[in-house]
Amino acid sequence: MKKDYDIELDFIIDELVIAYENYFKQFIDHLAPSHETTKGVITQKLKDKFDLKDWEIQLLFENLLSNGHISGIDPLIISYQGLILINNGGYIQQKKDKLSEKRRIIRNDRLLANGTVVLAIGTIGLLIWEILIHWNEFINLFCDC
């Protein structure tokens, strides 16, 4: 069974944005007394919310890193591309956009194919008409009908 991790990937980026918003707004860091890292907190939230195993979470972090949406795993740092991605709807919206683009391309290909068929039929029709005209001229040469 293929599992789709788009929701989890969006969740990680959302949590990173929230963590950085809190940091840059100079809120008191609620993690400071427990000495937990942003990665540790997000990992625990992923386990609680999505029931993911450690290896799945590590793969999600590595996926985000390889796609350029985070610039480091330890410490966990969101990149500019990650911010752009989440502002544009995240992985889920990206997948919807790709699907709608594929549908548009297929629809355009069908219209082009239909247009090609109509053009071919029209060309054959003109060819038949031309043959009939020449046939009529040829018949009229030998027959005084």
CA-based R_g, the chain, Å: 31
Residues in the chain: 145
3-state helix, strand, coil in the chain (%, to 5): 75, 5, 20
pLDDT, tens digit (0-9, with 9 covering 90-100), for 114-138: 888 888 998 999 999 999 998 888 8
Residue 101: pLDDT over 90: yes
Q: Which two tokens stand for residue 8?
A: 């989890």
- For residue 57, CA distances in Å to 8, 42, 88, 140 come to 9, 10, 23, 86
pLDDT, tens digit (0-9, with 9 covering 90-100), for 6-31: 889 899 989 888 888 777 665 544 54
Predicted pLDDT at 35? 60
Side-chain half-sphere of 15: how many Cα atoms within 13 Å?
19
Amino acid residing at 114:
N
CA dist 140 and 19 (Å) reads 91
Are 95 and 101 within 8 A, CB to CB? no
CA dist 37 and 74 (Å) reads 9
pLDDT, tens digit (0-9, with 9 covering 90-100), for 40-99: 889 999 999 999 999 999 999 999 999 999 888 888 888 888 888 888 889 999 999 999
Side-chain half-sphere of 138: how many Cα atoms within 13 Å?
6
Are 79 and 71 within 8 A, CB to CB? yes
Q: Which residues contact 128 (CB under 8 A, 6 or more apart)?
A: none
pTM confidence score:
0.62
Greater pLDDT, 102 or 29: 102
